[in-house]
Structure 1
Amino acid sequence: MWPDAPPSVLQPNVARRSAVGSAFPIEVKKMTDRCPLTCVVTIACIFIASHCHAQQPPQDDSANEANPQTIDEALLFSPTKFPTGDWEPKGLRFEDIFFSSKDGTKLHGWYCPSDHPRGVVLIAHGNAGHVASRAPWLRYLQSQAQLSVFMFDYRGYGRSEGIPTVEGAIADATAAREKLRELASVDDAQMLLMGESLGGAIVTQLAADSAPCGLILQSTFSSLRDVADVHFPKLSWMVPRNKLDSAAVIAEYHGPLLQSHGNRDRTIPFSLGEKLFRSANEPKQLFTVEGADHNNWLTHAYLEQLDAFIAGVTPPSK
């Protein structure tokens, strides 16, 4: 049984407004409550067409030239850059880790080793914020769950360089997994993969081509196209059907799965979580967070379920 966790233990995946908004914003949901969705979509179309490329900050980003950010990716990613946030959080022991993605993009993450780890976990966060904004969650996993944790920032987030793209984020996660093998002296079979919202889709891609000891998904969608159909139905054709198609990819994973989702989630509807879960192989567990929206899924009941899952799948780290 885990000790009680304060409500502030997790800094949620609160979407911040970028130049063109976000595909998963609570703010956009509130806007649609006040005006018809068609109005929002029309405004988005006009704004994207006239400002998408003009609003990108100038930077030397040759690594992204071969795969520039698409319009749907400009909507999807909402990065927060260093030095915004608290980068010296109290009560968390961490090492600044700098490494490179496959295309040479320089990345950054926090490695938070536990004194007596019962497992090792790689975490991919959601579409907003950065590692520093999730320090309370990292502190909890390190000290209470007794896990050695590596959370990284996608390109364009925090202290990582570049411009975020889906292909780039998957490559960044792959590089982070390789770095964690080195940091914790473990192989894939000794590693947990954990992902929050967008991050769940990213680590599902990794799980399909490796054999982690367990996969933990929190408020994750079935596919990016499905989310676009919900929030931007008249623009959803812009999102390729196979882009972050987690429901298809998860069928390639055959290890233990713990999936959680709030049944009042207005950002990633619960039905999309159910669709993803139906596509997964056994052994699998779906934990419904009763009454939870997209960002308040962290409850005592969920932590107990997570604790039991980790105890059942993770070998001790070296």
Structure 2
Amino acid sequence: MRRVLLVMVVLMGVFGVIVGGMYAAQRSLIYQPSPGPLPSASDVLPGGQDVTLRTDDGLTLSAWFFPARGSAAAADDAPVVLVAQGNGGNRGGRVELARAVTRHGISVLLFDYRGYGENPGDPTEDGLAHDVRAAYDYLISERGVPRERLFYFGESLGCGVVSALAIERPPAGMVLRSPFTNLAAVASEHYPWLPVRLLLKDRYPVADNVTALDDVPMVIVYGTADSIVPPALSERVADAANARSVAVEGAGHNDRVLLDGPELVDALVEIVRSATR
């Protein structure tokens, strides 16, 4: 009996160390930024503009604005998509999406969260909320974009970022790519042996957020072979939002087709055009 108790104590101790280590390191697992520096926007796409965002908690963030293709007058009146990227990389990995969308007469703002690219700070759920508000404020206050021409696009973790923003500052429409119901649901899939709901500092309750957005047109895009965000979670978000869903057959979470493929671009273009007719 003593031996059994000793083994149990040792196992509990080991488990406690593992849980403690996961708790301490969780944000380094969630947020995986690529560092800068990044080139000038005009070197990335013709007509690109370097942008500085200022958060209400005192950070200065770098971003790129890409006007819609065509005349300057047309670009000034064009609808705009605010892009909230996923947890990995930086805005440089979303340039091809901007290239594809601007060809359809839609302007795009790509920004990096705090701690991403060359930006200062450490990413957290609360911090990213400050960051996306700064992006919104730039478009509304500095560029004069009216709400009826402003659209949100969230990619994976970015779905949590823009769906929370949409409750405070509703857009004309929104596309969510590979959304999850909440971060704990994803973590539970990958760490079923951990009490993730008790451990997580950041929550990102996407399903709860979209349930509150009755008047925001929405499309959900996801890959049927996604091994990071299970397709069932994205489908639940679509159900919660009562939104149309686009299932990209055979696509994994980080496949190119879900970054800037035709199904994704078409979903963005469609929701913009349907709201601006």
- The TM tier, using the shorter chain, reads 0.7 to 0.9
Q: What do the CA deviations read for 1:135-154 (whole angstroms, capped 9, x no partner)?
A: 22222222x12211111110
1:206 aligns to 2:170 (yes or no)? no
| TM-score normalised per structure 2 | 0.82
Once residues 169 and 287 of structure 1 are traced to their aligned partners in structure 2, the CA distance between those partners, rounded to angstroms, is 27
Q: Mark the CA change 1:179 to 1:280 in structure 2 (over 3 Å): closer, same or farther.
A: same
Where 2:207 maps in the other structure, the secondary structure is helix
Once residues 305 and 130 of structure 1 are traced to their aligned partners in structure 2, the CA distance between those partners, rounded to angstroms, is 23
In the alignment, structure 1 segments of 5+ residues that lack a partner are 1-41, 53-69
Deviation at 1:272, TM superposition (A): 0.5
Of Structure 1 and Structure 2, which has the larger fraction of its residues in helix? 2
Once residues 198 and 90 of structure 2 are traced to their aligned partners in structure 1, the CA distance between those partners, rounded to angstroms, is 27
Find the partner of 1:273 among 206, 226, 234: 234
Q: Mark the CA change 1:241 to 1:274 in structure 2 (over 3 Å): closer, same or farther.
A: farther
Q: Which residue of 2 aligns with 1:113?
A: 67
Larger Rg computed on CA atoms = 2
Kindly provide the amino acid, as one letter, of the partner of residue 245 in structure 1.
Answer: P
Q: Which residue of 2 aligns with 1:192?
A: 151
Once residues 260 and 253 of structure 1 are traced to their aligned partners in structure 2, the CA distance between those partners, rounded to angstroms, is 18
Q: Which has the higher contact order (CA 8 A, sep 6+)?
A: 1
1:157 aligns to 2:116 (yes or no)? yes
* 8 Å contact from structure 2 (residues 221, 247) kept in 1: yes
Deviation at 1:48, TM superposition (A): 7.2
Q: Which residue of 2 aligns with 1:263?
A: 224
Deviation at 1:289, TM superposition (A): 0.7
| TM-score normalised per structure 1 | 0.72
Q: Which residue of 2 aligns with 1:313?
A: 275
Q: Which residue of 2 aligns with 1:145?
A: 104
Once residues 206 and 92 of structure 1 are traced to their aligned partners in structure 2, the CA distance between those partners, rounded to angstroms, is 30
Identity of aligned pairs, percent? Answer: 29
Kindly provide the amino acid, as one letter, of the partner of residue 270 in structure 2.
Answer: A
Q: Mark the CA change 1:229 to 1:223 in structure 2 (over 3 Å): closer, same or farther.
A: same
Say which is worse superposed, 288-297 or 257-266, in terms of deviation: 288-297
Kindly provide the amino acid, as one letter, of the partner of residue 288 in structure 1.
Answer: A
In the alignment, structure 2 segments of 5+ residues that lack a partner are 1-13
1:123 aligns to 2:95 (yes or no)? no
Cα RMSD (Å): 2.6
Q: What do the CA deviations read for 1:204-243 (whole angstroms, capped 9, x no partner)?
A: 1111122210011111111000001001122313445981
Where 1:309 maps in the other structure, the secondary structure is helix
Instruction: Give aligned pairs, total.
Output: 252
Once residues 257 and 153 of structure 1 are traced to their aligned partners in structure 2, the CA distance between those partners, rounded to angstroms, is 23
Deviation at 1:99, TM superposition (A): 2.2
